């Protein structure tokens, strides 16, 4: 199975900060990489697919980059509603696998 | 409006069985692949099972293979997960999730149903 490793596991940042979460795959996955946001008690929500394509309705402050094994999710200017957990997920091969998650706290 | 609504969760003893259901609306169910994804309390996301639009292709995570069975009834816009031989480690919120084939992502999630395996 392809292992997905996110860093950091948690972070605290202030409104207006630029925040980057990274995700590394244990083998190359081209750009078959998706990002999800999950608020407490809610289902995950798709933010970015194919490494860099913004899902419809997602604010443009979110962006994704990378290919191969190394990927990043960037929030250009952190907003109060961006708190929660973020997960990367590879869709290159079965079984699909998720990163362990990054918990983002707003200072 | 797209909706997927799960039901069937609850408390079950180790070794017991449970059948989860998911009813979809607001989209052409027969055109979509579907998945079950679970999340243990306070933990991350774990993919459980996949079924193609016409049920000709099915996959399972190794952790549930031989114990869980995924199925669908396109006439009823419904997805199912039959869970047998339940273990404590199966305790989780189970999400019914729509998959977009072209872009290989999970674009719509239900609210989840909690399965608790405990004596």
Distance from CA of A14 to the nearest CA of B (A): 24
Q: pLDDT of A37-95, one tens digit each?
A: 999 999 999 999 999 999 999 999 999 999 999 999 999 999 999 999 999 999 999 99
In sequence order, the 6+-apart residues with CB closer than 8 A to the CB of B102 are none
Decide if pLDDT at A8 tops 90.
Answer: yes
Decide if pLDDT at B103 tops 90.
Answer: no
pLDDT on residue B102: 85
> In chain B, count of helices (H) and strands (E)?
0, 11
What pairing do the DSSP bridges indicate for beta strands A102-106 and A10-13? Answer: parallel
Residue B38: closest CA among B14, B8, B61: B61
What pairing do the DSSP bridges indicate for beta strands A33-38 and A70-75? Answer: unpaired
Distance from CA of B15 to the nearest CA of A (A): 25
Whether residue B59 and residue A53 make contact (CB cut-off 8 A), yes or no, is: no
pLDDT on residue A12: 97
Is the Cβ of A100 closer than 8 Å to some Cβ of chain B?
Answer: yes
Render B49-105 in DSSP notation, one character per residue: EEE-TTSS-EEE-TTTTTTEEEEEEGGGTEEEEEE-S--GGG-EEEEEEEEETTTTE
pLDDT on residue B61: 98
Distance from CA of B23 to the nearest CA of A (A): 16
Q: pLDDT of B48-83, one tens digit each?
A: 999 999 999 999 999 999 999 999 999 999 999 999
Ranking A94-98, B29-33, B101-105, B113-117 by mean pLDDT, the lowest is B101-105
pLDDT on residue A17: 97
Phi first, then psi: give them for residue B70, nearest 5 degrees. Answer: -95, 145
Q: pLDDT of B77-96, one tens digit each?
A: 999 999 999 999 999 999 99
Question: Which tokens go with B95?
Answer: 């999400």
Decide if pLDDT at B101 tops 90.
Answer: no
Is the Cβ of A32 closer than 8 Å to some Cβ of chain B?
Answer: yes
Decide if pLDDT at A11 tops 90.
Answer: yes
pLDDT band at A102 (very low <50, low <70, confident <90, very high): very high
In chain A, % helix, strand, coil (3-state, to 5) comes to 5, 50, 45
pLDDT on residue A36: 98
């Amino acid at each position: 199975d392809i292992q997905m490793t996110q860093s950091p596991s948690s972070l605290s940042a202030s409104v207006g900060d630029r925040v980057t979460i990274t995700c590394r795959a244990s083998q190359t996955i081209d750009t078959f990489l998706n990002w999800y946001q999950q608020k407490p008690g809610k289902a995950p929500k798709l933010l970015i697919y194919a490494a860099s394509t913004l899902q419809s309705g997602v604010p443009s402050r979110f962006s994704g980059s990378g290919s191969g094994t190394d990927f990043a999710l960037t929030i250009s200017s952190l907003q109060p509603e961006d708190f929660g957990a973020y997960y990367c997920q590879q869709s290159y091969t079965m079984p699909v696998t998720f990163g362990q998650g990054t918990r983002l706290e707003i200072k | 409006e797209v909706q997927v609504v799960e039901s069937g969760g609850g408390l079950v003893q180790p070794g017991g069985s449970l059948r989860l259901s998911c009813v979809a609306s607001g989209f052409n169910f027969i055109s979509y692949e579907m998945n079950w994804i679970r999340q243990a309390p306070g933990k991350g996301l774990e993919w459980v099972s996949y079924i193609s639009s016409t049920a000709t292709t099915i996959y399972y995570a190794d952790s549930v293979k031989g114990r869980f069975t995924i199925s669908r009834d396109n006439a009823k816009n419904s997805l199912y997960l039959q869970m047998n031989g339940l273990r404590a480690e199966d305790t989780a919120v189970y999400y019914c999730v729509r998959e977009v084939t072209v872009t290989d992502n999970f674009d719509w999630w239900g609210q989840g149903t909690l399965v608790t395996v405990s004596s």
